[in-house]
């Protein structure tokens, strides 16, 4: 299946005082279904902007964004909300769990509002938190919290999983295990996963690597034989 | 304070204007209310005091039982404590008017030069409202009319009822109203009691004191020298006046002794004079009586003598008669003898004749012899003839003599008869004279006795002469003053509750806001701490920020509160008083305390919030603050219920208990708002009940007619009542003023004794309020109004001490309490009245029901009524009702104010709360949006909490409002006024609805802010 995700000449500008910042400048790329894609680039390269636009959190100024047969760049705000609700799963750098809900409830928070949710308990078991599902976020470690966040994203049974620096706030080992979880879920469920990182080492595990620099796509690599995460060191 | 410091604060203000404004607004509201309500009573009192000072209101007045002499006045004015004084003659009388019937009137007799304005009034200066000052002693001024004082027009003629109470005190009895004045002595609409007429003053007039037929003054009004400096309600004034009153009372005793001696001396002199006069009269009477008796005795003697003479007359007459008869018989006997002799002589002559003739015939004798014989015979005949003639003469003489004597006797008899008549006359006269004498004697003695009794009475009275007393009365005895004092006290009582509440909410709002602000700038705090700034230096900014907001809020609150809150309440008071100008000075002490406490509170919470943050290590401060941990709540134990809740309901449930500060603040704010609203609407209910229940349900008559006391209705009035088609029904009753005593309290009330106990309920509904059970005077002969019962805390079975209009004291056992809101009443059965006061309750009032009438038709009816004989007064209860319309209007005004205040409170609190909530959960909300939650769902998630808190607050507010309402009502009540005690269900509904509307309005505003949350915020690191 070709061209699951399509960015075609997508531009996004911000006006900062007198200066026009080109957060995304003629960005063009495609991603196939079921791919584990890593977007790398230094700070300010436009990684998050692109992710936001793909996730329906931000609109582009021009160009085309498409997910499968849905033209994201043409959706109204209300349609964008539904798009986020049903098609996209997000994993944030800082987990963004609702502090006042238990792990299970945080997962339910997402599963309750979408069409074909997975069973929250099963998803939590899958991410290895069967014992901790009744704990509040504050009672969980960072890695565990990120696992809850991933479970929350997966439970929606989304077409695509968008992860913004998912290991940014985690230590090395925990980060690795979280990445493994993401990779596994991609491989096991065939779900397209896009991970943003500034860590070049992670490119080794990706099916497709998109290099960004100053709002432009510098290079797109296909990795025929990605390395398992356990073998990557940084 | 460096420029940089100031700049940083101002920058902070610009950056978080909403927060700054929230603190500013709640502090402005709190301080404004606090300062405004606090200063209301002082302002009102200051205004009255200023008015009093301007008008030279008397500090003290003296009423002397035996009057005040010129000497008394001179002594008083010589006192150094006395600034000025005004002697006056004052009495309450009944006055007839042309249009308004018979009115109970207080007549002030004032010095002429002060009445006509040549000199200013020394005391109690009035303001001329209309007309002019009097120019002749037949003209008078009248006190401005109000709800109770009759509103007479210029030109009205007042005629004092001279045979009424005090009516004999006057030299001039007819006055024409030429001017209307407003005196500081009568500025309240509350009725002044009076001891004449129906017991309530209806008119106050001012006339020249020469209109009184009195040598002395009855009253003297005094302005004290030092008291002008003091505020009339202050303790210092009170103390000063206490001393002054004591001094005057002392003087009063002294002067009263003199006055006693004077009156006693005068009495003694008069008594002595009377005694001397009596003695003289006694003497004269005795003399006159003796003379009279002498005359009678004389007359009696004369009569006796006359009797004797008369009797003697009768005897003489009888004697004369018998003598005459005797003489007649004798004379007749002599005559008869003579006749016999003559007869003999004739016979002898005839024999001689015959012998001669025979001799001649026989010729025995010659002619010569015959001649001689003839001659002899002729001689004899001659002799005989002479004898017969003499006899006849004697006979005639006798007859004549007899007739004469008879005539004399008849005359004598006549004389005797006349004498007899005269005697009888004399006798009659004597009898009459004697009767007259005795009567006169009795009369004189009676007169003398009565004179003696009078003297004895006078002597006894003189011995019993009461010591004259000076009643020294201060301003508390003035109804207007006392009423104003009590009512301003009520305001003060209410004023202390509200603002404290507002200040507490202000503190809570500041606490929440400042905590949030410090949270937001946590990292900055950490950096500054790490850089080595001291705690104090770091705190400075926040204290400055909060202080600035509080200070600015305070200034605005003070300026608005000081000026407008007293003005609003003054406006409410205007329905009860003719008010002078209101002064609203800026009260520095209140300003300092209010601002100080607001500043202190807000700064304390700021310091508290800062301290909590700054007690952390700089390193931990610079790390994002671990989000407040979720906690399990009790509700989760109820698994069946809990598992049914959606995640957002669960979150809401947990959030409610997670942020206790928010919880309390919102609940308090909303509860306050709801309570205020309920109080406002409840007040409206209470007043409506008063107006409706009192004037429609309880008093079911429309017209009262007073007439001269009698057992039955005057015939003319009865005819009129029966003929008038507009009059539907009527019932006569006895009505009079009563005074109930309880400890040192004295409460005026009206006693009603219906003549027809069974139909009375048709005119005045007697019923228990709570149960609605109708009361019956036959079953419960003593029913008192609830107003009275509440004021004196009386229950059925309690005994009350009462004095009726004739000053007869009695004890009554309360049998039942009847619903009543305006005025204080005691309803008695005729037997109960008679048993208590020992006199019959004579009807003097008619209560009548009429068809609904326009004012003009009412006036027409009234003037027709007043023209009837014996009708003294007639009044439609609409007139009383109208005065309550003012009260209702001012309460409505107050309700609007309360609603505005409540709204402001609710808005500020809710806005602030939601604002903080949103700020705190910005990431959470952004996350939700990223997760694909619709705007409504996000708003619902957010506002569900607010809604529940609002609901809880509203619920808490209901009992709170009920309490507040009860408190306010209780404060406003008096023995003459009870407000409706219950709050209508509709008011609860309105209070709840309006609270919800206020909350919804805030949510609506905040929903916009919610939509503006950027989803990218979810990506941001926790700062």
Over residues B222-242, the pLDDT tens digits come to 998 887 788 888 888 888 888
Q: String of b and e for B321-351 (b: at least 16 CB within 10 Å)?
A: eeebeeebeebeeebeebbeebeebbeebee
pLDDT at B1022 over 60: no
Q: Mean pLDDT across the stretch B34-58?
A: 89
Question: Which of A86, A102, A113 lies nearest to residue B933, judging by beta carbons?
Answer: A113
Between these two residues, B426 and B624, which has the higher pLDDT value? B426
Reported as type and span, the H/E element at residue A131 is none
Look at residue B735 and give its three-state secondary structure.
strand
C-beta atoms of A98 and B923 within 8 A: no
Contact B932 A138 (CB under 8 A): no
More confident residue, B949 or B656: B949
User: pLDDT, tens digit, for every residue of B659-677?
Assistant: 777 788 788 888 888 888 8
According to DSSP, residue A208 is labeled E
**Neighbouring-strand partners of residue A40:** A197, A211
* CB-based contact B679:B961 (threshold 8 Å): yes
- Quick check: B532 contacting A, CB < 8 Å? no
Domain ranges of chain B: 82-224, 279-464, 659-699+877-1023, 700-875
- pLDDT at residue B855 above 80? no
The verdict on B990 touching A (C-beta cutoff 8 Å) is no
Q: How confident is the model at residue B22 (pLDDT cuts 50, 70, 90)?
A: confident
Cross-chain residue pair A94–B930, CB shorter than 8 Å: no
* A121 near B CB under 8 A: no
Looking at the complex, does the CB of residue B628 fall below 8 Å from at least one CB of chain A? yes
Q: What is the mean pLDDT of residues B33-53?
A: 88
Of A72, A226, A227, the residue nearest A162 (C-alpha): A72
Residue range B925-961, pLDDT digits in tens:
888 888 888 888 888 888 888 888 889 999 999 998 9
Mutate which: A78, A88, A96, A100, vs B, most B CBs within 10 A: A100
Is the predicted pLDDT of residue B1023 greater than 50, yes or no? no
| Pairing relationship of beta strands B174-182 and B127-131 according to DSSP bridges | antiparallel
- Enumerate residues 130 to 149 of chain A having a beta carbon within 8 A of any beta carbon in chain B: 136-139
Going from N- to C-terminal start, the domains of chain A cover: 34-59+87-231
Contact call for residues B559 and B511 (beta carbons, < 8 A):
no
Which among A107, A116, A58 is positioned nearest to B929, based on CA atoms?
Answer: A58
| Nearest Cβ partner for A164 among B627, B934, B1019 | B1019
* CB–CB contacts below 8 A, A to B: 96
Task: Show the tokens assigned to B181.
Answer: 């004045």
Instruction: Judge whether A213 is closer than 8 Å to chain B, CB to CB.
Output: no
- Residues B392-406 as b or e (16 or more Cβ within 10 Å = b): eebeeebeeebeebe
Partners of residue A88 on adjacent β-strands: A160
- Tell me if chain A has a CB within 8 Å of the CB of B346: no
Q: Are the beta carbons of A138 and B626 separated by less than 8 Å?
A: yes
Looking at B838-921, list the stretches that DSSP marks H as alpha helix, in order from N- to C-terminal side: 855-866, 878-920
Q: What is the pLDDT of residues B991-1014, one digit of tens each?
A: 999 988 988 888 888 888 888 887
Q: Is a pLDDT exceeding 70 seen at residue B153?
A: yes
Residue B926 phi, psi dihedral angles, 5° rounding = -65, -40
Give me the residues paired with residue B782 across strands.
B828
Q: Is residue B562 packed enough to be buried (19+ CB in 10 Å), middle (13-18) or exposed (0-12)?
A: buried
**CA–CA separation, B82 vs B244, rounded Å?**
9
Task: Quick: pLDDT tens for B369-399.
Answer: 878 888 888 888 888 888 888 888 888 888 8
Q: Report whether B148 contacts B190 (CB < 8 A).
A: yes
Which letter, b or e, does each residue of B946-975 get, where b requires 16 or more Cβ atoms within 10 Å of its Cβ? Answer: bbbbbbbbbebbbebbbebbeebbebbbbb
Supply φ then ψ for residue B131, to 5 degrees.
75, -150
Interface contact B630-A99, CB threshold 8 A: yes
H helix or E strand, kind and range, residue B205: strand B203-208
Interface test with B, best of A98, A101, A116 (most B CBs within 10 A): A98
Q: Which residue of A has its CA nearest to B938?
A: A81
d(CA A112, CA A133): 16
Find tokens 């209860």 and name the residue. Answer: B877
Q: What is the mean pLDDT of residues A93-119?
A: 84
A83–B927 C-beta distance less than 8 A = no
Chain B residue with minimum CA distance to A93: B1019
Q: Write the CB contacts of B273 (distance below 8 Å, at least 6 apart in sequence).
A: none
Asked whether the predicted pLDDT for residue B610 surpasses 60, the reply is yes
- In chain B, residues with a C-beta closer than 8 Å to the C-beta of A142 are none
* Contact assignment for B1022 to A94 by CB distance below 8 Å: yes
Integer angstrom CA distances of residue A185 from A52, A233, B568: 22, 21, 72
d(CA B238, CA B251): 20
Q: List CB contacts (< 8 A) between B629 and chain A.
A: 99, 136-139
Q: Which residues of B touch A52 (CB under 8 A)?
A: 1015-1016, 1019
Contact state of A81 with B629 under an 8 Å Cβ cutoff: no
CA distance B226 to B236: 11
What residues have CB less than 8 Å from B8, skipping those under 6 apart?
B541
Q: Best interface-test mutation with A: which of B648, B929, B932, B1015 has the largest number of A CBs within 10 A?
A: B932
CB contact under 8 A, A94 and B626: no
Closest CA–CA distance from residue B651 to any residue of chain A (Å): 6
Q: How many CA atoms lie within 13 A of B162 on its CB side?
A: 9
* Interface contact B927, partner A, CB < 8 A: yes
Of B895, B894, B906, the residue nearest B997 (C-alpha): B906
Best of A51, A92, A96 to substitute, by most chain B Cβ atoms within 10 angstroms, is A96
Nearest CA to CA, how far is A7 from chain B (Å)?
Answer: 20
Q: What is the mean pLDDT of residues A193-200?
A: 88
Q: How far is B1015 from chain A (nearest CA, A)?
A: 6
Contact in structure between A187 and A193 (CB atoms under 8 Å):
no
CB atoms within 10 A of CB B218: 22
Q: Which residue of B has its CA nearest to A109?
A: B647
Q: Quick check: B481 pLDDT over 50? A: yes
Q: Which residues of A touch B654 (CB under 8 A)?
A: 100-101
| CB-based contact A99 B1021, cutoff 8 Å | no
The question of ipTM being above 0.90 is answered as no
For the ranges A45-59, A147-161, B180-194, B440-454, the lowest mean pLDDT is seen at: B180-194
Q: Which of chain B's residues have a Cβ under 8 Å away from the Cβ of A57?
A: 929-930, 1015-1016
pLDDT at B552 over 90: yes
- Phi/psi region, residue A167 (left: phi>0; alpha: psi -120 to 50; beta: rest), is alpha
φ/ψ of B1003, rounded to 5, equals -60, -40
Per residue in B791-848, pLDDT (tens digit) is 888 899 999 999 888 888 899 999 999 999 888 899 999 999 999 998 888 888 899 9
Mean pLDDT, chain B, integer: 84
Contact of B109 with B207, CB cutoff 8 Å: yes
Instruction: Give the whole-angstrom CA distance, residue B224 versus residue B60.
Output: 8
Q: How far, in Å, CA of B155 to CA of A195, rounded?
A: 103
pLDDT at B137 over 80: yes
Q: Collect all residues of chain B within an 8 Å Cβ-Cβ radius of residue A114.
A: 932
Q: What is the pLDDT of residue B1021?
A: 59
Residues whose CB falls within 8 Å of the CB of residue A30, separated by 6 or more in sequence, listed in order: A2, A3, A4, A5, A6, A7
Query: Which residue of B lies nearest to A166 if distances are taken between CA atoms?
Result: B1019
CA distance A55 to A74: 13
CB B493 within 8 A of CB B971: yes
Averaged pLDDT for residues B457-476:
85
Q: What is the mean pLDDT of residues B596-603?
A: 89
For residue B1007, how many other CB atoms are within 10 A of its CB? Answer: 17
pLDDT at B559: 92
- What DSSP letter does each residue of B387-429 carry, written as one string? HHHHHHHHHHHHHHHHHHHHHHHHHHHHHHHHHHHHHHHHHHH
- Beta B782-785 vs B816-818: how paired, if at all? parallel
**CA trace torsion B2, B7, B13, B16 (10° rounding):** -120
B630 closest CB neighbour out of A58, A83, A101: A101
Q: What is the pLDDT of residues B452-463, one digit of tens each?
A: 888 888 888 888
End-to-end CA distance of chain A: 33
What is the tens place of the pLDDT at every residue in B875-894? 888 767 766 666 666 667 76
Q: How confident is the model at residue B626 (pLDDT cuts 50, 70, 90)?
A: low
Angle between helices B660-692 and B878-920 (to 10 degrees): 170
Task: Give the number of residues written for chain A.
Answer: 234
Choose among A78, A85, A99: nearest Cβ to B628: A99
Beta strands in chain A (DSSP E): 5-16, 19-31, 36-40, 62-67, 70-71, 88-91, 160-164, 192-197, 208-213, 216-222
CB B912 within 8 A of CB B26: yes
pLDDT of residue B959: 93
Q: How far is B914 from chain A (nearest CA, A)?
A: 18
Q: How many CA atoms lie within 13 A of B553 on its CB side?
A: 32
Token look-up 């009153």 returns B245
User: Residue B647: which of A55, A99, A109 has the nearest Cβ?
Assistant: A109
Eight-state DSSP code of residue B155: T
Instruction: Please name which of B1019, B958, B599 lies closest in space to residue A55, comparing C-alpha atoms.
Output: B1019
Q: Is A101 on the interface with B (CB under 8 A)?
A: yes
- For residue B1016, give the nearest of A52, A84, A139 by CB distance: A52
Q: Which CATH architecture has domain A34-59+87-231?
A: 3-Layer(aba) Sandwich (3.40)
Neighbours of B885 (CB within 10 A): 12
pLDDT at B291: 92
Range with lowest mean pLDDT among A44-58, A76-90, A142-156, B189-203: B189-203
CATH 1.10.287.620 fits B279-464, yes or no: yes
Assess contact for B646 and A112: CB atoms under 8 A: yes
A110 touches chain B (CB under 8 A): yes
**What is residue B197's predicted lDDT score, i.e. its pLDDT?**
64
Of A37, A131, B651, the closest CA to residue A147 belongs to A131
């Amino acid at each position: 299946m070709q061209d699951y995700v399509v960015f075609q000449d997508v531009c996004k500008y911000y006006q900062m005082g007198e200066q026009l910042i080109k957060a995304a400048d003629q960005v063009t790329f495609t991603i196939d279904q079921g791919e584990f894609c890593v977007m790398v680039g230094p700070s300010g390269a436009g990684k998050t902007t692109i992710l936001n636009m793909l996730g329906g959190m931000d609109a582009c100024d021009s160009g085309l964004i498409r997910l499968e047969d849905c033209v994201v760049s043409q959706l109204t705000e209300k349609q964008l909300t539904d798009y986020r609700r049903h098609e996209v799963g997000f994993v944030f750098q800082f987990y963004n769990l609702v502090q006042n809900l238990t792990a299970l409830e945080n997962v339910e928070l997402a599963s309750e509002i979408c069409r074909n949710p997975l069973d929250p308990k099963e998803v939590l078991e899958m991410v290895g938190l069967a014992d901790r599902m009744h704990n509040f976020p504050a009672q969980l470690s960072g890695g565990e919290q990120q696992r809850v966040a991933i479970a929350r994203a997966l439970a929606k049974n989304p077409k695509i999983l968008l992860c913004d620096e998912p290991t940014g706030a985690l230590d090395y080992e925990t980060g690795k295990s979280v990445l493994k979880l993401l990779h596994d879920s991609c491989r096991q469920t065939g779900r397209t996963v896009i991970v943003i990182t500034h860590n070049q080492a992670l490119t080794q595990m990706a099916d497709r690597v998109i290099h960004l620099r100053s709002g432009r796509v510098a290079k797109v690599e296909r990795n025929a034989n990605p390395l398992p995460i356990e073998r990557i060191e940084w | 304070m460096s420029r940089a410091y100031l700049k940083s604060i101002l920058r902070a203000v610009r950056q978080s204007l909403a927060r700054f404004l929230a603190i500013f607004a709640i502090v402005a509201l709190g301080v404004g209310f606090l300062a405004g309500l606090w200063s209301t009573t002082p302002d009102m009192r200051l205004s009255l005091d200023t008015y009093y000072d301007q008008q030279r209101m008397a500090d003290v007045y003296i009423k002397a039982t035996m009057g005040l002499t010129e000497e008394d006045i001179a002594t008083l004015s010589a006192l150094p404590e006395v600034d000025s004084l005004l002697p006056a003659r004052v009495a309450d009388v009944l006055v007839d008017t042309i249009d308004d019937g018979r009115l109970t009137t207080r007549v002030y007799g004032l010095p002429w030069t002060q009445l006509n304005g040549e000199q200013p009034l020394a005391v109690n200066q009035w303001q001329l409202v209309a007309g002019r000052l009097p120019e002749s002693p037949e003209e008078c001024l009248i006190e401005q009319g109000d709800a109770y004082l009759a509103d007479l027009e210029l030109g009205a003629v007042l005629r004092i009822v001279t045979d009424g109470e005090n009516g004999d005190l006057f030299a001039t009895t007819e006055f024409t109203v030429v001017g209307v004045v407003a005196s500081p002595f009568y500025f309240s609409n509350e009725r002044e009691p009076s001891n004449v007429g129906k017991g309530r003053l209806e008119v106050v007039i001012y006339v020249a004191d020469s209109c009184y037929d009195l040598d002395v003054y009855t009253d003297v009004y005094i302005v004290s020298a030092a008291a002008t400096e003091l505020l009339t309600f202050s303790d210092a004034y009170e103390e000063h006046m206490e001393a002054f009153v004591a001094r005057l009372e002392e003087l009063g005793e002294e002067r009263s002794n003199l006055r006693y001696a004077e009156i006693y001396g005068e009495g003694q002199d008069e008594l002595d004079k009377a005694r001397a006069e009596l003695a003289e009269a006694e003497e004269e009477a005795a003399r006159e009586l003796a003379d009279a008796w002498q005359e009678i005795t004389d007359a009696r003697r004369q009569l006796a003598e006359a009797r004797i003479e008369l009797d003697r007359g009768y005897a003489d007459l009888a004697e004369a008669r018998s003598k005459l008869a005797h003489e007649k018989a004798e004379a007749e006997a002599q005559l008869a003898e003579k006749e016999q002799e003559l007869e003999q002589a004739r016979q002898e002559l005839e024999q001689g004749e015959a012998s001669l003739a025979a001799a001649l015939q026989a010729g025995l004798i010659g002619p010569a012899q015959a001649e001689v014989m003839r001659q002899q015979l002729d001689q004899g005949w001659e002799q005989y003839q002479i004898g017969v003639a003499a006899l006849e003469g004697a006979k005639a003489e006798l007859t004549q003599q007899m007739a004469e004597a008879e005539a004399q006797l008849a005359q004598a008899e006549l004389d005797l008869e006349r004498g007899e008549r005269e005697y009888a006359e004399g006798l009659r006269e004597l009898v009459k004279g004697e009767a007259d004498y005795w009567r006169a004697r009795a009369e004189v003695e009676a007169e003398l006795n009565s004179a003696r009794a009078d003297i004895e009475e006078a002597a006894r009275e003189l011995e019993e002469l009461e010591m004259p007393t000076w009643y020294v009365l201060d301003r508390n005895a003035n109804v207007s003053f006392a009423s104003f004092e009590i009512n301003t006290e009520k305001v003060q009582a209410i004023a202390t509750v509200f603002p404290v509440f507002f200040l507490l909410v202000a503190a809570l709002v500041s606490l929440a806001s400042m905590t949030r602000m410090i949270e937001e700038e946590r990292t900055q705090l950490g950096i500054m701490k790490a850089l080595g700034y001291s705690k104090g230096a770091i705190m400075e900014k926040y204290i400055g920020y909060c202080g600035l907001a509080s200070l600015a809020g305070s200034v605005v609150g003070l300026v608005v509160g000081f000026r407008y809150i007293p003005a609003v309440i003054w406006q409410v008071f205007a329905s009860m008083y003719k008010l002078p100008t209101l002064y609203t000075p800026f009260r520095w002490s209140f300003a300092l305390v209010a601002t100080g406490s607001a500043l202190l509170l807000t700064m304390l919470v700021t310091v508290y919030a800062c301290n909590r943050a700054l007690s952390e290590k700089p390193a931990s401060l610079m790390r994002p603050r671990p989000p407040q941990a979720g906690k399990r709540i009790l509700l989760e134990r109820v698994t069946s219920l809990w598992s049914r809740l959606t995640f957002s309901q669960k979150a809401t449930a947990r959030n409610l208990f997670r942020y206790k500060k928010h919880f309390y603040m919102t609940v308090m704010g909303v509860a306050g708002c709801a309570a205020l609203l309920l109080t406002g609407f409840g007040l409206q209910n209470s007043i409506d009940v008063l107006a409706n229940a009192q004037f429609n349900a309880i008093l079911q008559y429309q017209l009262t007619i007073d007439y001269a006391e009698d057992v039955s209705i005057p015939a003319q009035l009865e005819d009129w009542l029966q003929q008038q088609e507009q009059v539907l029904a009527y019932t006569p009753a006895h009505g009079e003023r009563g005074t109930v005593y309880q400890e040192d309290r004295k409460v005026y009330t009206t006693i009603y004794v219906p003549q027809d106990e069974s139909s009375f309920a048709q005119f005045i509904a007697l019923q228990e309020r709570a149960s609605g059970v109708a009361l019956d005077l036959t079953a419960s002969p003593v029913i008192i109004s609830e107003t009275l019962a509440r004021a004196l805390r009386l229950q059925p079975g309690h005994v009350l001490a009462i004095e009726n209009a004739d000053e007869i004291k009695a004890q009554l056992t309360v049998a039942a309490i009847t619903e009543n809101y305006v005025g204080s009443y005691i309803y008695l059965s005729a037997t109960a009245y008679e048993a208590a006061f020992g006199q019959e309750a004579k009807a003097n009032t008619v209560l009548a029901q009429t068809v609904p009438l326009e004012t003009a038709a009412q006036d027409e009816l009234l003037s027709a009524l007043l023209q009837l004989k014996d009708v003294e007064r007639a009044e439609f209860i609409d007139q009383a009702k109208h005065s309550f319309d003012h009260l209702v209007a001012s309460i409505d005004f107050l309700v609007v104010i309360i609603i505005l205040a409540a709204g402001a409170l609710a808005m500020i609190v809710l806005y602030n709360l939601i604002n903080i909530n949103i700020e705190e959960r910005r990431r959470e909300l952004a996350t939700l949006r990223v997760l694909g939650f619709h705007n409504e769902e996000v708003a619902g998630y957010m506002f569900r909490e607010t809604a529940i808190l609002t609901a809880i607050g509203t619920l808490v507010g209901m009992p709170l409002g009920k309490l507040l309402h009860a408190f306010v009502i209780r404060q406003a009540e008096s023995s003459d006024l009870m407000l409706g005690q219950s709050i209508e269900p509709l008011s609860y509904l309105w209070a709840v609805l309006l609270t919800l509307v206020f909350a919804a309005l805030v949510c609506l505003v905040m929903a916009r802010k919610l939509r503006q949350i950027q989803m990218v915020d979810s990506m941001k690191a926790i700062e």
